Structure 1
Amino acid sequence: MQRRHFLAALPLCSAPWVHAQNKSLTPLKFTLDFRVTSQTAPFFLALQNGYYREEGLDVSLDVGSGSVASITRIASGAYQLGLGDISSLIEFNAQNAGTPRVQAVYQYYNRAPFVIIGRKDRGITSDFLSLKGKKVAAAAVESTRRAWPMVARNKHLPADLFSWSTTEFSARDNVMVRGDVDAATYFHDSAVSLFARIKPEELSILHYTDAGVQLYGNAILASSALIAEKPQLVAAFLRATNRAIVECIANPAAAIAAVRQREPILDEKTELARWAITTQYIAAADTKSHGLGDFSKRLLEQQVDSVVQTFALKTMPSADALFNSSMLPPKSVRMLKA
């Protein structure tokens, strides 16, 4: 069959995203906070299932180098959207007064998954005081490390209770397994790789939330220029992403299949365990009342106050300047089924 005859014979009722290819797509660059894992599976599901294309978007997803670095990538104009830490955004906006260059538009982690994980054979328990005099591994610029002074203040502990051992993300598990350090900072869901090498019962997990540190974690961030000039693109991106988040929570197998399509080397069992933990932080606390993606202004203002005090910042950003919720999908599609 000649090519033109073959094309003419194609069925007209193809998938929606195929039709989207026939119209011009708007390119958007999105930076992840870290490497590809199931923590960010919804973005890959939305990409691979054509949800972004249905919204008229040609989205590229790039790996990141930490939830703090995402903010500078967006502020510089290298990326229009990304996943980054709210506390770090507060600090960034306070240090760069004036019109904000980056704003949160969708709260991904409803609570920050900040933990310190320690070896029980080094005397570390669920009590933060057990970290006294220990060596704790963390990357140089990492949100869990940055938030430690908030825990220290809440627990009336000295900020130098232990010593930091600056370690690249990729080496963190290794130094824990070898015993070079006594503990390490993690996003809770990032620690699944460690649990595969050290039995969980041999480890103590110290949750920042247990110290009364109630923080919003990583959020979808957008450049203020994009928000001002083309808010409809941000809204379209959020519709597609929210659709994928809801689907991934309802069907974890689909979430893992999507992320393994991008990174086939990932272990299915490990990523399912990781996504199960991630879901606890995405669909946590406030989401039962106001749905996925939204935030409590009162809680965000408390977080701003805590960050400003902890880092002795001279400017206190307003909650409205930090978070723009005007482009969120309707609440009806952001509510999870019981």
Structure 2
Amino acid sequence: MKFPLPHALLSACGLALALALAALPAAAQVPIKVVLNWKYEGPQAWFFLAQDKGYFKDEGLDVTIDQGEGSAASIPKVAAGAYQAGFGDINALVDLASRRPADAPVGVYMLYNTPPFALVVKSDSPIRTPKDLEGKTVGGPANDGALKLFPAFARIAGIDAAKVGITNMAPNLREQMLSRGQIDAGFGYVTTVSFSAKGMGLDPAKDLRFIRYGDYGMDLYANTVFFSKRFVKENPKAVAGFVKALNRAVKEVIANPDAGVDHAIQREPLLKREVEKDKLLATLKNDMSHPEIARIGLGDVDDARLKKDIAIVVEANALPRTPEPGEIFDRSFLPVRADRPSATTTH
């Protein structure tokens, strides 16, 4: 014969169970430290939005985001173990993968699929073609992606690199030195240089000219999100979750750039909203709009194009080995094609 438990006893059992569950530790979030390509700015809005709106947290991740020092500088920081993930130039990653394959990170989400690398000169400069750089002085920050790729550009464009003087400076001095005639040309990304020049009161369209690497056969990929090989091996679910959260944020920023800029401004209140919005829109248009994304979607790469990219970097820099595309980029963590953008502008 069964006897019903007294109400008080049921209540006590329920309370004990609730207290026991409350005492259990919360599911541990996987920590991921990310180093960016540059100082906090509008074109990084998706990283900040994903963090602020809890998209990383939704995937069980505890993400911290640090400023960077150049698109090539983030790769060795991840390779050394100081960070688990980064955002930077895939061509610098190819270089490291050739020299030290065990240490090189691997790309998982391609953002800058259109080559932004360029040389900038004043509009009245006698430098009209790459060959005109011979006998001139060209300057750029030591970790600038265009500077790192100059040996490849020189070989492809028929420049005798030994006849070109190279000098380094702090990033904020590049446009000043060019304007004052202290250098004849500068290395940089088109969007970055344009907005730095605007900050000095110059009109890039009238006062500057760009010699773009992409116009001379270097249809290279640029900045990708990447992870250390060790982290990929040990935490594949976390990598997939990070990419899913970031892709979600990228779609939101494309649809509403103003909201994206809000999150960048929160990181650095001294940033000027309209400038950062213009930089974000220019990045979407100039650096993330390769025609291939209509076919393969943002975030992915075309294997044939990546293979050509790798070959250019290896040959031009006389690297010891040619990495396979699969060593450089792993698409297995990408959301399905239907969930990734087919275009980066809304109009």
2:106 partner letter: Q
Query: Residue 326 of structure 1 aligns with which residue?
Result: 332
Is residue 114–residue 219 contact of structure 2 (8 Å, CA) maintained in 1? yes
Q: Distance in 2 between matches of 1:286 and 1:336?
A: 9
**TM superposition outliers: structure 1 runs of 4+ over 4 Å:** none
Give unpaired runs (5+ residues) of structure 1.
1-21
1:174-219: per-residue Cα shift (whole Å, max 9, x none)?
A: 2223332222111122121213322220110111111111101011
1:39-70: per-residue Cα shift (whole Å, max 9, x none)?
A: 21110111112211121211100011222221
SS for the counterpart of 2:113 is: coil
1:215 partner letter: L
Query: Residue 188 of structure 1 aligns with which residue?
Result: 190
Is residue 133–residue 159 contact of structure 2 (8 Å, CA) maintained in 1? no
Query: Residue 335 of structure 1 aligns with which residue?
Result: 341
SS for the counterpart of 2:238 is: helix
1:84 partner letter: G
Query: Residue 115 of structure 1 aligns with which residue?
Result: 118
Percent identity of equivalent pairs: 32
1:61-210 equivalences in 2 (<5 Å) = 61-97=65-101, 99=102, 101-125=104-128, 127-191=129-193, 192-197=195-200, 198-200=202-204, 201-210=206-215
Q: TM-score, normalised by structure 2?
A: 0.86
Larger radius of gyration: 2
- Give the superposition deviation at 1:161: 5.0
2:141 partner letter: A
1:94-142: per-residue Cα shift (whole Å, max 9, x none)?
A: 1114x454111111111231111111233344x3334343322112232
1:316 partner letter: T
1:52-67 equivalences in 2 (<5 Å) = 52-67=56-71
Q: Distance in 2 between matches of 1:34 and 1:265?
A: 16
SS for the counterpart of 2:320 is: coil
Query: Residue 320 of structure 2 aligns with which residue?
Result: 314
Q: Distance in 1 between matches of 2:327 and 2:138?
A: 35
1:173-322 equivalences in 2 (<5 Å) = 173-191=175-193, 192-197=195-200, 198-200=202-204, 201-280=206-285, 281-322=287-328
Give aligned pairs, total: 316
Q: Distance in 1 between matches of 2:289 and 2:114?
A: 9
SS for the counterpart of 1:84 is: strand
Q: Distance in 1 between matches of 2:288 and 2:125?
A: 32
SS for the counterpart of 2:161 is: coil
1:268-310: per-residue Cα shift (whole Å, max 9, x none)?
A: 1211221122112223221110001101111111111111111
Q: Distance in 1 between matches of 2:176 and 2:341?
A: 40
Cα distance change of structure 1 residues 122 and 262 upon mapping to structure 2, 3 Å threshold? same
- Give the superposition deviation at 1:88: 0.8
Q: Distance in 1 between matches of 2:175 and 2:68?
A: 19
1:248 partner letter: V
Is residue 71–residue 143 contact of structure 2 (8 Å, CA) maintained in 1? no
- Give the superposition deviation at 1:252: 1.4
Is residue 37–residue 87 contact of structure 2 (8 Å, CA) maintained in 1? yes
Q: Distance in 2 between matches of 1:83 and 1:132?
A: 33
Give unpaired runs (5+ residues) of structure 2.
1-25
Cα distance change of structure 1 residues 163 and 101 upon mapping to structure 2, 3 Å threshold? closer
Is residue 189–residue 275 contact of structure 1 (8 Å, CA) maintained in 2? no
Cα distance change of structure 1 residues 269 and 123 upon mapping to structure 2, 3 Å threshold? farther
- Give the superposition deviation at 1:149: 2.4
Q: Distance in 2 between matches of 1:260 and 1:294?
A: 29
Query: Residue 17 of structure 1 aligns with which residue?
Result: none
1:22-61 equivalences in 2 (<5 Å) = 23-61=27-65
Q: Distance in 1 between matches of 2:223 and 2:41?
A: 15
Q: Distance in 1 between matches of 2:270 and 2:172?
A: 16
